[in-house]
């Protein structure tokens, strides 16, 4: 059937169960909390099976950077997320199968650079970690289950995607307890495995897809494997599937190949004795990630669905019965389909498709029974988000959202006017080696629509020597084009927009953080009025800065700077009116400050500062000339990653919304002002999240201000303000996407 994560059975093809990456919008309930951009913290695999014993196909999705997700099917192909706390450790391949012989589907997890795990099912869909640590291979791509030693239980074949490590076999004792067989089965940078009886001796052999020469390993029936000596293709293979493609009853192989040189997929035909020859069939030269074989149309042969790389269409190839395949021409998603599984998801007896994507929502395609597929409309999960900004990008009168993603991807979510958001599938990409640390919206080019500044930082897991910030220009309808400008090469953590030089266009001030390639010098970029930016020669301080705010701090008409510093004193820089700044020399506190918001907190007509800190927020009063004094308040003990100042209780003064988290589960707080700049906790029950950024605006067109919160490994949330007294009702979940920026508009 399919590839990387596979189950094998005697006298049958290996039953594969998929591999994945990422997620999107799914309806939820209706500060009021209400939609779910559900988990998708960089998904790496999906497995389908009846986990809860109700007869339909559920989905287990591994998340590389956060807790895994179990999606339960209602029987019609509609999924809801289970509340179970599941594995949270670099899961690369999930396999569902009966491992302990109690009749329910258990879970085998191959994990990247970490011990593999077994989770046992109680029969009702509750999964419990068995506590086993099964090897620690470089298992990035795949694994397979099958009865390898003939004792009627399911064993595990785990390949390693590293030439410095070996492929391994783990034998099951029948109770779901696995032991390393001690075999070292090659070290080829293996990415995929499929199990099946290719030579007719009634045991399961292993076809391995490598970054180079693919290999067939033959089983002696006792789970001992020997290299057949065959080289079955030499392309960069990501997916392998075994099945009878030419109708002669033996198992042939389909290789999904991914290469920048445009190597096409290949079909190799079996002579019945496990000797393979290239069919010579030429497929589209896509960069293929995944493959599943299944009976799609009514002719009873195996057809092929291939999931391809970002920007390339996935393909459904129809078989004529003799291994000659024709592209069906159906549009079945574009981009990053690292895993796919086929199963009846809607109860109509035909096979549907569950596609898991890289930096793209997981999608479900429903089969009409005649091999014609329709997208179900469900978008399960989102891209790994890091930052968020709100603005009307499509000129329809409501506030849309740009969510900056882990890996340098920013997505555009369109608002329907009632705070229900839809991803329009735009990718504002800046390279997968980078991390989006900030998003800002403003009219940079003078055409009266909102363009986007995207701040970038180093992706610590990948590394990149040039995390240059980007400018994306809007065509007026919410469609963005990269201007091609590369602003700096710094580790950006914060940015602020405003006209600092008095020429009536929007300039950019950036707060930077020291790194191995940058000293952490804050920068000013001046706009020429057409959206073209030039770096000012000024150095606006060097150090561990995390945020910056613009405002009239000294009583004149120009915009001054307040820099928030992490692990040191914050600073104030005053503008001479032409965009030249001077450091006032003030050392404001010594907190680990993540964010700063400016507003008249004590009612004296000038801008004060609310500092969001790690371990207690602080308030600094301005004397009107840009000189600040500590109010001596310490507000809370949480880690605040975003602050919004507005009148939350309708009493005429400015209150403070503090979004807390930074990867820790902490409750958001609203601090109420007494009118003199002294704050008390509202006590309003706002749910705990692992929030990392938020943005404020009127999301539902009801005249008050709402808040959108993004999180690193929890749900993104929309909090709708229902003020008729001091209350915010929790309502719209926009789901998990690995957000971690602390940048505030």
pLDDT at residue 726 tops 50: no
**pLDDT the model gives residue 359:** 55
- Whether 40 contacts 355, CB under 8 Å: no
- Whether 13 contacts 243, CB under 8 Å: yes
Strand order in the sheet with 237-243: 237-243, 252-257, 266-270, 276-278
> Comparing 55-64, 392-401, 527-536, 613-622, which segment has the lowest mean pLDDT?
55-64
> Comparing 323-332, 439-448, 702-711, which segment has the lowest mean pLDDT?
702-711
Query: Which position has the higher pLDDT, 140 or 632?
Result: 632
> Comparing 171-175, 209-213, 317-321, which segment has the lowest mean pLDDT?
209-213
pLDDT at residue 29 tops 50: no
Which is nearest to 67 in space by CA: 94, 47, 36, 43? 43
Q: How many other CB atoms are found less than 10 A from the CB of residue 27?
A: 16
- The proportion of the chain whose per-residue pLDDT surpasses 70, expressed as a percent, equals 81
The predicted-structure confidence for 144-170, as pLDDT tens digits, reads as follows: 889 999 999 999 998 877 666 788 899
Bridge partners of residue 621, in order along the sequence:
629
| Band of pLDDT at residue 109, cut at 50, 70 and 90 | confident
**pLDDT the model gives residue 234:** 82
The predicted-structure confidence for 550-583, as pLDDT tens digits, reads as follows: 999 999 999 999 999 887 899 999 999 999 999 9
**pLDDT the model gives residue 31:** 32
pLDDT at residue 2 tops 60: no
Buried-state track 415-447, b at ≥16 Cβ within 10 A, e below 16: beeebbbebeebbbbbbbbbbbbbbbbbbbbee
DSSP per-residue string spanning 154-210: -EEEE--SSTTS--EEEEE-SSS-EEE-------S-EEEEEEE-SSSSSS-EEEEEE
The predicted-structure confidence for 251-274, as pLDDT tens digits, reads as follows: 999 998 876 555 789 999 999 999
CA pair distance 553, 550, nearest whole angstrom: 9
- Whether 704 contacts 721, CB under 8 Å: yes
pLDDT at residue 465 tops 80: no
pLDDT at residue 644 tops 80: yes
**pLDDT the model gives residue 136:** 59
Q: What's the rounded mean pLDDT across residues 482-500?
A: 86
The predicted-structure confidence for 693-707, as pLDDT tens digits, reads as follows: 888 888 878 777 888
**pLDDT the model gives residue 490:** 77
- Whether 303 contacts 318, CB under 8 Å: yes
**pLDDT the model gives residue 356:** 73
> Comparing 72-86, 136-150, 569-583, which segment has the lowest mean pLDDT?
136-150
Q: What's the rounded mean pLDDT across residues 646-672?
A: 87
CA pair distance 169, 175, nearest whole angstrom: 17
**pLDDT the model gives residue 656:** 95
CA pair distance 155, 119, nearest whole angstrom: 15
Bridge partners of residue 684, in order along the sequence:
none
**pLDDT the model gives residue 405:** 66
DSSP secondary structure code for residue 23 in this structure: B
pLDDT at residue 379 tops 60: no
DSSP secondary structure code for residue 344 in this structure: -
| Average confidence score pLDDT of the chain | 80
| Band of pLDDT at residue 736, cut at 50, 70 and 90 | very low
Which is nearest to 606 in space by CA: 618, 586, 622, 629? 622
**pLDDT the model gives residue 149:** 94
Query: Which position has the higher pLDDT, 137 or 413?
Result: 413
**pLDDT the model gives residue 381:** 44
pLDDT at residue 127 tops 50: yes
Tokens of 606: 């000038």
> Comparing 7-11, 464-468, 651-655, which segment has the lowest mean pLDDT?
7-11
Phi, psi of 533 (to 5 degrees): -110, 145
**pLDDT the model gives residue 261:** 58
Residue at token pair 């030419």: 246
**pLDDT the model gives residue 33:** 24
**pLDDT the model gives residue 41:** 37
Residues recorded for the chain = 745
**pLDDT the model gives residue 434:** 65
């Amino acid at each position: 059937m399919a590839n990387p994560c596979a189950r094998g059975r005697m006298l049958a093809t290996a039953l594969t169960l998929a591999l994945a990456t990422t997620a999107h919008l799914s309806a939820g309930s209706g500060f009021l909390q209400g939609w779910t951009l559900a988990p998708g913290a960089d998904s790496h695999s999906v497995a389908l099976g009846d986990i809860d014993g109700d007869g339909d196909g559920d989905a287990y999705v591994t998340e590389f950077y956060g807790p895994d997700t179990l999606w339960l099917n209602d029987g019609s192909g509609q999924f809801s997320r289970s509340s179970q706390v599941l594995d949270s450790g670099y899961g690369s391949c999930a396999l569902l199968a009966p491992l302990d012989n109690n009749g329910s589907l258990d879970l085998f997890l191959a994990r990247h650079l970490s011990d593999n795990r077994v989770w046992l099912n109680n029969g009702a869909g509750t999964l419990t970690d068995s506590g086993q640590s099964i090897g620690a291979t470089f298992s990035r791509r795949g694994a397979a289950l099958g009865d390898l030693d003939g004792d009627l239980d399911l064993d595990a074949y785990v390949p390693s995607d590293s030439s410095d490590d070996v492929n391994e076999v783990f034998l099951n004792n029948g109770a779901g307890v696995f032991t390393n067989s001690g075999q070292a089965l090659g070290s080829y940078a293996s990415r995929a495995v499929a199990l099946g009886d290719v030579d007719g001796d009634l045991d399961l052999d292993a076809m391995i897809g490598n970054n180079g020469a693919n290999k067939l390993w033959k089983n002696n029936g006792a789970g001992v494997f020997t290299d057949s000596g065959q080289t079955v293709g030499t392309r960069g293979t990501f997916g392998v599937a075994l099945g009878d493609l030419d109708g002669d009853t033996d198992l042939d192989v389909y290789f999904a190949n991914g290469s920048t040189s445009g190597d096409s997929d290949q079909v190799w035909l079996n002579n019945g004795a496990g000797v393979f020859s290239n069919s010579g069939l030429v497929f589209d030269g896509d960069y293929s990630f995944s493959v599943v074989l299944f009976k799609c149309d009514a002719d009873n042969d195996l057809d092929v669905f291939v999931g391809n790389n970002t920007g390339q269409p996935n393909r459904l190839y129809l078989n004529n019965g003799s291994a000659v395949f024709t592209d069906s021409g159906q549009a079945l998603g574009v981009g990053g389909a690292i895993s796919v599984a086929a199963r009846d998801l809607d109860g109509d007896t035909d096979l549907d498709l569950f596609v898991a994507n890289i930096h793209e929502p997981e999608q479900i395609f429903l089969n009409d029974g005649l091999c014609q597929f329709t997208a179900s409309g469900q978008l399960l999960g989102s891209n790994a988000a890091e930052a968020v900004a709100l603005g009307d990008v499509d000129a329809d009168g409501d506030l849309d959202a740009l969510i900056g993603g882990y890996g340098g991807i920013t997505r555009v979510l369109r608002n329907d006017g009632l705070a229900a958001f839809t991803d329009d599938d735009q990718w504002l990409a800046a390279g997968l080696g980078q991390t989006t640390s900030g998003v800002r919206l403003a009219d940079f080019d003078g055409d009266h629509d909102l363009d986007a500044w995207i701040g970038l930082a180093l992706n610590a897991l990948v590394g990149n020597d040039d995390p240059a910030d980007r400018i994306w220009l809007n065509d007026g309808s919410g469609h963005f084009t990269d201007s091609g400008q590369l602003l700096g090469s710094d580790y950006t953590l914060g940015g602020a927009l405003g006209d600092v030089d008095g020429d009536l266009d929007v300039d950019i001030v950036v707060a930077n953080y020291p790194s191995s390639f940058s000293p952490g010098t804050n920068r000013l970029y001046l706009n020429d009025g057409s959206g073209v930016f030039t770096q000012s020669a000024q150095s606006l301080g060097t150090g561990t800065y995390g945020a910056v705010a613009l405002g009239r701090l000294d009583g004149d008409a120009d915009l001054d700077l307040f820099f928030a510093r992490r692990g040191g004193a914050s600073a104030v820089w005053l503008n001479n009116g032409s965009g030249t700044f001077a450091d006032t020399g003030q050392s404001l506190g010594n907190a680990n400050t993540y964010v700063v918001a400016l507003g008249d907190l004590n009612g004296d007509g000038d801008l004060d500062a609310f500092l969001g800190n790690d371990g207690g927020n602080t308030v600094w009063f301005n004397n009107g000339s840009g000189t600040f004094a500590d109010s001596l308040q310490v507000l809370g003990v949480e880690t605040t990653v975003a602050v919004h100042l507005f009148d939350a209780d309708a009493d005429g003064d400015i209150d403070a919304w503090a979004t807390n988290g930074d990867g820790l589960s902490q409750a958001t707080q609203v601090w109420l002002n007494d009118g003199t700049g002294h704050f008390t906790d509202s006590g309003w029950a706002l749910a705990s999240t692992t929030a990392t950024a938020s943005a404020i605006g009127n999301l539902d067109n009801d005249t008050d201000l709402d808040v959108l919160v993004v999180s690193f490994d929890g749900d993104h949330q929309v909090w709708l303000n229902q003020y008729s007294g001091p209350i915010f009702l929790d309502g719209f979940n926009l789901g998990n996407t690995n957000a971690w920026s602390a940048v505030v508009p």
